[in-house]
Amino acid sequence: MRARVIKIGNSQGFRIPKPVLEQTGIKDDVEIEVDKDQIIIRPVTKVRDGWDAAFKKMAQKGDDELIFDEITDHSWDDEEWQW
């Protein structure tokens, strides 16, 4: 499939046919990446997609406990804070 590059203000662009957008799942925003001589256009995914499932999996493994490090344990924690 070919598309013509056209001037759009100070930029250039081209129209993407609706069937192509439907096949890719692109609806709104996209990520654009250049790889050598190719332009790669992807739909933007939600930043936290999959986090819920990952957290549930961590909880099942008992891998979701807080880690306290001596480096972050300061005496002022007890002196300065009012609990």
> What is the structure's pLDDT at 34?
97
Q: What is the C-alpha separation between 13 and 7, in angstroms, rounded?
A: 6
Q: What is the C-alpha separation between 16 and 2, in angstroms, rounded?
A: 10
Q: What domains can you pick out in the chain, each with its CATH number?
A: 1-64 (2.10.260.10)
What are residue 34's DSSP bridge partners?
39
Query: DSSP per residue over 12-29, as a string?
Result: EE----HHHHHHHT--S-
Averaged pLDDT for residues 5-16: 94
Confidence at 6, pLDDT banded by 50, 70, 90: very high
What are residue 40's DSSP bridge partners?
33
> What is the structure's pLDDT at 68?
66
Dump pLDDT digits (tens) for 22-74. Answer: 998 898 889 999 999 999 999 887 778 888 899 899 999 988 877 766 556 66
